[in-house]
Chain A
């Protein structure tokens, strides 16, 4: 699985960090999403899928 993010859409709701803290972070200066792992390991895939589904701004895209 490969992950991409669109920072211009992010509204810093934090759903991604709450659901997949090893894959996403939020910038100190703006709260906007930071991608920590472009290729999450298999044990993180479920959390990553959940983060993408719950992101309210459709800022996270998954490429299988």
Chain B
């Protein structure tokens, strides 16, 4: 069955909030290198097979630099933010590895292990506060959003009180309806804030990531000030929308699958595996990892020409039945480990060990401490983040 290509515009609509758009399965089956139409009239590839997506993301001749001709931009506002981004998320090698390695020591398995007691204390405090609020209070605003803000501001050495500035910035820069002017204004505000922060850290260094970057990398001249600002901005923003939405959507997914929730409640050793399954099943970076070919490249037998854009659909890869049998079933006992929810290749998420620790602690603690936790409104009334760069649920009113 060939789908009508002219009709395939991207991003596509979901018909169920828990599943990727219905077209992905037939595309994976019949047209794994489909062409889709974007808002600007361009026609990049949409990849839907796990092995093709891994191959593209592991291939250095696919560039992740949004300023290059042919790079697929999914929203206009996002294009402005992406083109202004000079962090290593948007740089190819060798510069990517050089810059990423300035911060890799901050996110190792051991570092995160040492942070666990602090994450646990933060989760407990946020649950205390939430449970003291009126029944039906929004879990997103009062728990899922403050959690990553608290952790990352501690690591970076940023006053928690300043969080409105960068929460607003990520909201605008990750929103699909933001206008180019709004995005530019928001970027200017954020850069100004970070510039002042760096000035403070130059004068008064402390035991935090920004101080170490200032003194070990910026002062000796390994990076200039704009590069430093870009690195701090990336660390500050990359973990916010992602962890927040994964936290809330994960809670909702578990509440809607009571048999699976019962399994992890009865046996906490299932929680790490359940987190992998939630990452796979939700695939919140639902517009995908995007690249552009620098040369003609053979991807598992299909030729992608130099200058052609490629959208690697993370949700589609993570529902590929070749790798995940009965892929649309949410099953906390399956081996979901090979999912690509954190991407693949040299840009694979730097914060993944931290994100895993946060999510494991949240699900274990929340359902233990609030055993009656349930939705406070009909499921049908929830609004999902269909048109946002990071998927999730806008508000989640719960009772306990």
Contact = CB atoms under 8 A, between A and B. Distances in A.
A36 B261 CA distance: 37
B104 A56 contact: no
A18 B348 contact: no
Nearest to B338: A54
Most buried by B among A12, A13, A21, A31: A13
Contact of A50 (B105, B337, B356): B337
B337 A30 contact: no
Contact of B352 (A14, A26, A27, A32): A14
B299 interface: no
A41 B222 CA distance: 42
Contacts of A17: 108-109
Contacts of A19: 337
Interface in A22-64: 26-32, 50, 53-54, 56-58
Given A11-B348, A14-B352, A30 B104 contact: yes
A11 B58 contact: no
B341 to A, nearest CB: 12
B352 A58 contact: no
Contacts of A18: 109, 353, 356
Contacts of B106: 31
B349 interface: yes
A13 B337 contact: no
A17 B109 CA distance: 7
Contacts of A14: 107-109, 352-353
Contacts of B342: 13
A45 B348 CA distance: 24
Contact of B104 (A15, A32, A58): A32
Interface string B99-118: 01100111111100000000
Contacts of B105: 12, 27-31
A11 B97 contact: yes
A26 B58 contact: no
Interface string B207-223: 00000000000000000
B337 A31 contact: no
A13 B338 contact: no
B350 interface: yes
B152 interface: no
A12 B106 CA distance: 10
A56 B346 contact: yes
B345 A31 contact: no
B58 A53 contact: no
A56 B345 contact: yes
A56 B342 CA distance: 10
A57 B349 CA distance: 12
A59 to B, nearest CB: 10
A54 B338 CA distance: 6
B344 interface: yes
Nearest to A53: B338
B352 A13 contact: yes
B239 interface: no
Interface string B76-111: 000000000000000000000100110011111110
B109 A26 contact: yes
B343 interface: yes
B107 A12 contact: yes
B390 to A, nearest CB: 20
A13 B110 contact: no
A57 to B, nearest CB: 6
B76 to A, nearest CB: 30
Given A53-B338, A54-B337, A12 B110 contact: no
A35 B109 CA distance: 15
Interface of B: 57-58, 97, 100-101, 104-110, 337-338, 342-346, 348-350, 352-353, 356
Given A12-B101, A14-B108, A30-B105, 6 more contacts: A12-B100, A14-B353, A18-B109, A21-B109, A28-B110, A58-B58
8 residue pairs, one from A and one from B, having the closest CB atoms: A31-B104, A12-B104, A56-B348, A17-B109, A31-B108, A26-B108, A31-B105, A14-B353
